[in-house]
Structure 1
Amino acid sequence: MADILPWQSGLWQLLAGREQHAHAYLLHGPAGIGKRALAEQLMALLLCRQPSLAGACGDCRSCQLLAAQTHPDHYILEPEEADKAIRVDQVRQLVSFVTQTAQLGGRKVVLLEPAEAMNLNAANALLKSLEEPAGDTVLLLISHQPSRLLPTIRSRCVQQACPLPAREQSLDWIAQQLPELPSEQREELLTLAAGSPLAACRLHELGVLEMRAQVVEGIKKLLKQQQSPSQLAEAWNPLSLILLFDWFCEWAHLILRYQMSGDEQGLGAADMAKVIQYLAQKTTPAKLLALQDWLLAHRQKVLGKANLNRVLLLEALLVQWANLPGAR
């Protein structure tokens, strides 16, 4: 079994040391800090026949079945496809599992990630099981955005915030995972991942540094009128929409902040610093606020898995971005 991540040791001692466990936990915090790994450790501990503060024993029949992914009393619920919603029929299957008797005579444990992926009907279908799960059942819900959960879901769980590691601790851990990567690239990945080390490693696997370079170069060409919004939208069609919207939301915020403070230390990543300064000097706060409202509204649609025409959405974004410089 994997070791507890260094920044989770204090929280692990707190959870593993409990004499009685809640029937439902909500483990929440930024994406990419290891909440899933923590939940899997806790699931193993709760199912183990000889647990200790160090975790599951790894030797008992329950641990061996769990390691083989054949334990009859554990259940993992995720979206059937990446970035899709968890549907009500999936939750009904989970509820059926919860009402059954544990086949090994111990606990049943459910792991659900991400909880905010449940649509409204799915979330409502889970409420009864969260309030009064049958038998000795523990539900472990993982959320990257707990504000998107129904209050009735949150109120039925013990809410446990998971820690974001210190930057140096994150960089040390990333260096162990990606020793071949230059230190400046590890720094850049961690910045792009908003300080979440596991997310930084995933961004590396996805080639996000190359994607970011493509986007920044495209923005510069757009502002120089060397490329049109429609051309860029077509070129960016394969890229992650949520990453693009995250970046543009951040850049709009940085421009506004620079207009208000003039602080050159607050320009964000170096690749866009000069663009941020240029646009801050060439546009008005009113234009930026209107763009920011549009970005946030459409980012929410992307997060909500709305059926959007990607190319038209990107073109609309780029037209507004190209129109930022103008009469003040």
Structure 2
Amino acid sequence: MAELYPWQAEVWQQLTSRTQHAHAYLLHGPQGIGKRALAERFMAFLLCQHPVAGQPCGQCKACHLLAAGTHPDNFVLEPEEADKAIRVDQVRQLVDFVVQTAQLGGRKVLLLEPAEAMNLNAANALLKSLEEPSGNTVMLLISHLPSRLLPTIKSRCVQQTCPLPSQAQSLAWLDEALPDVTAPIRSDLLALAAGSPLSAQRLHAQGVLEQRALVVEGVKKLIKRQQGASQLADAWNSVPLLLVFDWFCDWAQLMLRYQLTNDEQGLGASDMAKVVQYLAGKTPQPKLLVMQDWLLAQRQKVLGKANLNRALLLEALLVQWAALVERS
């Protein structure tokens, strides 16, 4: 059974204390905070035949079937391949399941993640089931980016915010999850994961710190005119494009914040803090704002799986970044 993370206690109480459950919930919040585990445990609670003290009992027939992956009254829908869209024919399978009678005589529970992965046709196909659910059915939608969902989808769900844990909670959890990693590295991982502890653990497993070091070293050489944009674009071939744009968007935001506050404690991760401070002092704010707008627009294209020429996009990014510092 999925574990309940320490920072989810209040949300769990809100979900399980309801006297009557909604036909659809939208669990939304930052990626990497355990929304999937929360949804799976809530699914177990909703299907459990004898819940105890607001928790699934783990002993009844429904709990045993769910643990074995053979419960006939639950349905999980997710992209067939990582980072791909949820297609309309997949949602039609879900709709067919909704109209069936629960085989164990209780609820049917469906879990869909991530909801924003549905293409337009798939989202429209889901709407009728959200409007007129069949029988005792509960749908659990998980979203990392609720702003990308159709308003009609969101309006038909009880929206449950899943908050980011505090830094202290995240670091305490990472201390147990990554006992062989030093405290400074755990802090750096958490900063790179925007405060999401599960994402920090995943980034560590993916070797992101090594990829980050490669990019940071390249940026420093670019600023010093020691390496060109095309060379760096080739050298970064193994670094996911979204990660590159996440980091550059973050650096641009940190530069703007420093220009407004002069707060040296808010310069981000230590590997780029001095560079961020230097660039913030050398870059005219109007030029930085234009750069930030461009970065956000390109990141949105990357998120939307647009057909992009990676090499040309990275070269354009690096040429513009090198031009931030005005030369006298």
* TM-score of the aligned structures, taking structure 1 as reference length: 0.96
Of the structure 1 ranges 151-160 and 90-99, higher mean CA displacement relative to structure 2 is found in 90-99
CA contact (8 A) 1:13 1:53 kept: no
1:124-139 pair list within 5 angstroms: 124-139=124-139
Following TM superposition, by how much is the alpha carbon of 1:54 offset from its aligned partner in structure 2, in angstroms? 4.1
CA contact (8 A) 2:3 2:38 kept: no
1:269-288 pair list within 5 angstroms: 269-288=269-288
**Sequence identity (%):** 72
**Hey, what does 1:256 align to over in structure 2?**
256
CA contact (8 A) 2:31 2:144 kept: yes
1:151-190 pair list within 5 angstroms: 151-190=151-190
**Hey, what does 2:230 align to over in structure 1?**
230
CA contact (8 A) 1:73 1:102 kept: yes
Q: Counterparts of 1:163 and 1:10 in 2: how far apart (Å)?
A: 10
Q: Counterparts of 1:54 and 1:212 in 2: how far apart (Å)?
A: 43
Equivalent AA in structure 1 for residue 30 of structure 2: P
Q: Counterparts of 1:232 and 1:76 in 2: how far apart (Å)?
A: 42
Equivalent AA in structure 1 for residue 69 of structure 2: Q
Following TM superposition, by how much is the alpha carbon of 1:28 offset from its aligned partner in structure 2, in angstroms? 0.7
Q: Counterparts of 2:276 and 2:286 in 1: how far apart (Å)?
A: 16
CA contact (8 A) 1:16 1:53 kept: no
CA contact (8 A) 2:3 2:37 kept: no
SS in 1 for 2:272: helix
1:15-30 pair list within 5 angstroms: 15-30=15-30
Q: Counterparts of 2:71 and 2:314 in 1: how far apart (Å)?
A: 45
Following TM superposition, by how much is the alpha carbon of 1:84 offset from its aligned partner in structure 2, in angstroms? 1.4
Q: Counterparts of 2:173 and 2:253 in 1: how far apart (Å)?
A: 30
Equivalent AA in structure 2 for residue 265 of structure 1: Q
CA contact (8 A) 1:57 1:63 kept: yes
CA contact (8 A) 1:16 1:52 kept: no
**Hey, what does 1:323 align to over in structure 2?**
323
Equivalent AA in structure 1 for residue 114 of structure 2: P
Q: Aligned-residue CA RMSD in angstroms?
A: 1.3
Equivalent AA in structure 1 for residue 32 of structure 2: G
Equivalent AA in structure 2 for residue 61 of structure 1: K
**Hey, what does 1:67 align to over in structure 2?**
67
Gaps of at least 5 residues in structure 1 are none
Equivalent AA in structure 2 for residue 139 of structure 1: M
CA contact (8 A) 1:85 1:305 kept: no
Equivalent AA in structure 2 for residue 16 of structure 1: T
CA contact (8 A) 1:72 1:103 kept: yes
* TM-score of the aligned structures, taking structure 2 as reference length: 0.96
CA contact (8 A) 1:17 1:53 kept: no
**Hey, what does 2:46 align to over in structure 1?**
46
Of the structure 1 ranges 18-27 and 283-292, higher mean CA displacement relative to structure 2 is found in 283-292
Following TM superposition, by how much is the alpha carbon of 1:327 offset from its aligned partner in structure 2, in angstroms? 4.1
Q: Counterparts of 1:5 and 1:53 in 2: how far apart (Å)?
A: 17
Gaps of at least 5 residues in structure 2 are none
**Hey, what does 2:221 align to over in structure 1?**
221
Equivalent AA in structure 2 for residue 66 of structure 1: L
**Hey, what does 2:76 align to over in structure 1?**
76
SS in 1 for 2:75: strand
Following TM superposition, by how much is the alpha carbon of 1:252 offset from its aligned partner in structure 2, in angstroms? 0.8
